[in-house]
Amino acid sequence: MTIHHLEKNNSILNKFIAEIRDEGIQKDSMRFRNNISRIGEILSYELSKHLNYSRQEITTCLGTKNINLPSNKIVLCSVLRAGLPLHQGLLNYFDDAESAFISAYRNHPVEGSKSEIIVEYFAAPSLENKTLLLADPMLATGQSLIAVYDAIKKYGNTKEIHLVSVIASTEGIESIKNHFPENTHLWIAAIDDELNDKGYIVPGLGDAGDLAFGSKL
């Protein structure tokens, strides 16, 4: 797996990451969603440098110009519900991509027991020989992405996979390395070193789904 850690190089991305982490600013759910979307756009731009391109002739009102344009057939799949703002940011750049959605949530069968990831819903176009962008804003333990991929791969052989997240833990990255094809790319804005006993990234930012859409029951 190739890891692309964008925060290693200073850019305007730092400001958006700071705002989604700031417990004062993140209370504004609209701003939180917008910042996640903007981070998705930056990740999209960097990811686009690793796609395939073909030369095409474009006709202007005064002549023609040959331009290299992306040739990948992209399916953008986001994990519900936290992945929706990130999905929108990616879709702003890959606007001709097909969209897919999958649900995944932590379930505790017995209070205090180890959680398991439940995948219940998946809607997607054909994935056969396409470039899959799998988006989930928080890569904590890595178990959600693993469960989601195990469910998705039954529906077609993808040409390549790009994982897109906003914040990851080092433990989560290590846990997914051996569960995806070797040529998989991970695009990550920021990496934190710790997980707490509930599996949340520390310092992280909290529950991305709740911050974007309100607390769930």
Residue among 181, 138, 195 nearest 2 (CA) = 181
Dihedral angle computed from the Cα positions of residues 77, 79, 82 and 84, in that order, rounded to the nearest 10 degrees = 20
| pLDDT tens-digit readout, 79-133 | 998 999 999 999 999 999 999 999 887 765 556 556 678 888 899 999 999 999 9
The token pair that represents 35 in the structure block: 């910042």
The token pair that represents 110 in the structure block: 């017995």
| pLDDT tens-digit readout, 3-15 | 999 999 999 999 9
Q: Domains along the chain?
A: 2-50+70-213 (3.40.50.2020)
In this prediction, residue 112 carries a pLDDT of 58
Query: For 126-154, b where at least 16 C-beta lie within 10 A, e where not — what string?
Result: ebeebbbbbbbbbbbbbbbbbbbbebbee
In this prediction, residue 129 carries a pLDDT of 94
Question: What amino acid occupies position 193?
Answer: D
d(CA 59, CA 93): 22
Does this model's pTM top 0.85? My answer is yes
Q: How large is the angle between the packed helices 29-48 and 84-93, nearest 10 degrees?
A: 40
d(CA 33, CA 147): 25
d(CA 47, CA 198): 31
